[in-house]
Homo-oligomer: A and B are copies of this chain.
Amino acid sequence: MLVVMKHGASAAEIDAVVSVIEEMGYQARPMPGAQRTAVGLVGNDGRVDSSRISALSGVAQVIHVTQPYKQVSREWRPENTVVTIAPGVDVGGKEVVIMAGPCSVETEEQIVLAAHQVKAAGAACLRGGAFKPRSSPYSFQGLGEVGLKYLATARKETGLAIVTEAMDEQGAELVAEYADCIQIGARNMQNYSLLKFVGTLGKPVLLKRGLAATINDLLLSAEYVLASGNKDVILCERGVRTFDPATRNMFDLTAIPIVQQMSHLPIVADPSHGTGIRDLVTPMARAAVAAGADGILVEVHPNPERALSDGAQSLYPDQFAELVGELRTISAAIGRTLTPAPRTATVAAG
C-alpha cells in the first residue's frame, strides 16, 4: 500500500501516517519526491483497511498494491480450478462446455423439448430460469419450484446437467435440491448475504458479473463464496452497462483473459445477455471461445416468438446447431475441444 501525501504536507503529518502504520503492525517506508512525499506500507497481507489512513490529515490518496482478495487469486493457487458440474462436465479444463436452453422454464413440454434440441445440437448443460429477476414487478416472475421439477424431468430424459438461478436463500435451497449448479445473477452479484449462504450448500456456483462490476468486484464477490467454504465457483461475463444504447449491455470479452491471469477460477461467457439481440449472439459466441472462455451460456428456445421472456435474444434450435459446429472448429484452432453432449439420459442408464 502506498500513501501519497498532499503537496506541502508537513513533517508532522507524514510522521502521523508513519505512526499509524506502525501502530497497525506494519513497516512504513517514506519516499520523498520532487512534488510530494509517499509512504510505503510494507508487509500488507491483503487485510489492511485503508480507511483509517485515508482519513488522516495531509493524505492525498491511498494506492493499493496488494489485491484485496486472497483465495480466488492465482497467487493463492497457481493451477486452474476445474469445477465438475456433473460427471463428465468439467469447467476450467481443456474442454469448452456449452450450456444452452430457454430464458424461462414455461411448461414441462417446452423445457423437455428444448433439452432434447440443445442436446442434439451438442450442449452438455441445460439452462432455464425458474426464478426470474425482472425489473418490473408486473412481469412474469417464473414458475418457481414447479419450474425446478420440470428441469429435473428434462435432466432425467436427456442426461443434461442443470444450471439455474436462485434469487434468495429459500430459492437457493430448492435449486441445490433439484439442479446441478446454482446461478447467481448479475443483480445479486453483491448480495453478500446470499453469497455467504450459497457458499454453504455444497453445489457449484455460477456467479454472473454485475452490470457495473469491475473485474475486481467480481473476484471479491467470488471470494465471499470461497470464504464460506465452497471452492467450486465458475465466473461468468455477461455484459456491463455503458453509454451506448446499440446493445442492452457491452459484452466485455477482455474480462476472460484478465480473469484467467488474476484467478485460478474458470470463466464462461453469456453472449445472449451480453448482446441482447439474436443476430449478434453467433459472432460473439465465436469470439468468446476464441478469447479463451471455458464455456458458453446461450439462450435457445423451441419457438422464440412465443417465449415468455427474452424471445428477441433466443436462438432458433437450428441456428444453435450451426453455431456449435463453428465453436468446435474455433476450439480446435486454439487447441481445445467441446465437452460432448451426454451419451444417454440418466434414466436410460438406470
Verify if A247 is at the interface (C-beta below 8 Å from B).
yes
Bound-state Cα–Cα, A159 to B253, Å: 35
B245 touches A312 (CB 8 A): no
- CB proximity of A38 to chain B, nearest CB, Å: 5
Closest chain B residue, CB of each to CB of A50:
B312
Given known A35-B46, A258-B280, contact A212–B211 (CB-CB < 8 A): yes
Bound-state Cα–Cα, A275 to B311, Å: 33
The segment from A90-98, A114-122, A149-157, A283-291 that touches chain B is A283-291
Verify if A79 is at the interface (C-beta below 8 Å from B).
no
Bound-state Cα–Cα, A244 to B240, Å: 10
Given known A193-B167, A254-B274, A286-B291, contact A223–B51 (CB-CB < 8 A): no
Verify if A75 is at the interface (C-beta below 8 Å from B).
yes
Residue-wise, chain A 44-85 has the 8 Å CB interface mask toward B (1 for contact) of: 111101011011110100010111111000110000000000
Verify if A32 is at the interface (C-beta below 8 Å from B).
yes
Q: Which of A136, A196, A251 has the most CB of B within 10 A?
A: A136
Bound-state Cα–Cα, A57 to B279, Å: 11
Verify if A314 is at the interface (C-beta below 8 Å from B).
yes
Residue-wise, chain A 238-257 has the 8 Å CB interface mask toward B (1 for contact) of: 00111111110011111111
The segment from A175-183, A200-208, A328-336, A339-347 that touches chain B is A328-336
Copy number in this complex? 4
- CB proximity of A250 to chain B, nearest CB, Å: 6
Given known A35-B44, A55-B312, A240-B244, contact A134–B192 (CB-CB < 8 A): yes
Bound-state Cα–Cα, A279 to B307, Å: 40
Indicate which residue in B134, B250, B307, B330 contacts A254 across the interface (CB closer than 8 Å).
Answer: B250
Closest chain B residue, CB of each to CB of A258:
B246
Please name all residues of chain B whose beta carbon is closer than 8 Å to the beta carbon of A59 when the two chains form the complex: 312
Verify if A216 is at the interface (C-beta below 8 Å from B).
yes
Residue-wise, chain A 134-166 has the 8 Å CB interface mask toward B (1 for contact) of: 111111100000000000000000000000000
A136 touches B68 (CB 8 A): yes
Verify if A11 is at the interface (C-beta below 8 Å from B).
no
B243 touches A137 (CB 8 A): no
Verify if A227 is at the interface (C-beta below 8 Å from B).
yes
Bound-state Cα–Cα, A272 to B30, Å: 30
Verify if A304 is at the interface (C-beta below 8 Å from B).
yes
- CB proximity of A42 to chain B, nearest CB, Å: 6
A33 touches B42 (CB 8 A): yes
- CB proximity of A31 to chain B, nearest CB, Å: 5
A214 touches B244 (CB 8 A): yes
Q: Which of A31, A35, A287, A309 has the most CB of B within 10 A?
A: A287
What are 13 A-B pairs with beta-carbon distances under 8 A?
A4-B65, A33-B66, A34-B46, A36-B65, A51-B308, A51-B309, A51-B311, A55-B304, A55-B314, A137-B192, A137-B227, A257-B284, A286-B290
A contacts, CB < 8 Å to B: 2, 4, 7-8, 20, 29, 31-36, 38, 40, 42-47, 49, 51-52, 54-57, 59, 63, 65-70, 74-75, 133-140, 167-169, 171, 187-188, 190-194, 196, 210-212, 214-217, 220-221, 223-224, 227, 240-247, 250-258, 261, 274-275, 278-280, 283-284, 286-292, 304-312, 314, 326, 329-330, 332-334
